[in-house]
Every structure is written in C-alpha cells, then in structure tokens.
Homo-oligomer: A and B are copies of this chain.
Amino acid sequence: MIAAKVIDSIWSTRKADSLIGMKFMMVEVLGGIDAGRIIIAADTISAGIGERVLVCTGSSARKMLDREDIPIDAVIVGIIDEDCKF
C-alpha cells in the first residue's frame, strides 16, 4: 500500500456505468522518492480532504468493493491515525 494525503475530490459525469455513484479522490503520495506522485483513488470509507490514508493499488484494489467487475485500480483502504508519526 501507499501512504498518501487526500488533496481534492474529482468529478466525472461521463464515465463507465459501473462507476456511477462511486466517489473519487485525488491523493498525493507521502514520503520517500515517490513523494508527490498523484493517484486517483476510489473512496468507500469517507476520507476527508487533508487526511492521510492508505491506498491499495492494482487488482487488490477491487477486493475493497462489493463487485469484482469494476474498472478500479486504486482505492482508499484506511485512514492513518492522526497521532501516528512518520
């Protein structure tokens, strides 16, 4: 997984039918040489802008959703505790 910060929400009206109702957040990778990488992740746990999150990518991201047939390759799987230092 990747530690990242939620920086914005992304809106897409014209999209795949299977994505309707899904919320997308823009996150920025935190720490290390990948710091500053931007990923668009689906969010099902109501992460807020500014929160630090764990993002799972690839085929494993689909395991977070109820359906296997959905074109999603990144999803927020957890919110890092505020008092967790790194």
Within 8 A of B (CB), among A1-56: 1-3, 7-8, 10-16, 18-19, 24, 26, 28-42, 45, 54, 56
Which DSSP category, helix, strand, loop or mixed, fits chain A's interface? mixed
Contacts A1-B24, A3-B38, A38-B34 known; A12 to B54 CB distance under 8 Å? yes
A sample of 28 inter-chain contacts (CB < 8 A) reads A2-B38, A2-B40, A3-B38, A7-B86, A8-B86, A10-B84, A11-B81, A12-B78, A15-B54, A16-B77, A26-B31, A31-B38, A32-B36, A33-B35, A33-B36, A34-B37, A40-B54, A56-B73, A57-B73, A58-B58, A59-B60, A60-B62, A60-B72, A61-B71, A62-B63, A63-B68, A63-B71, A71-B75
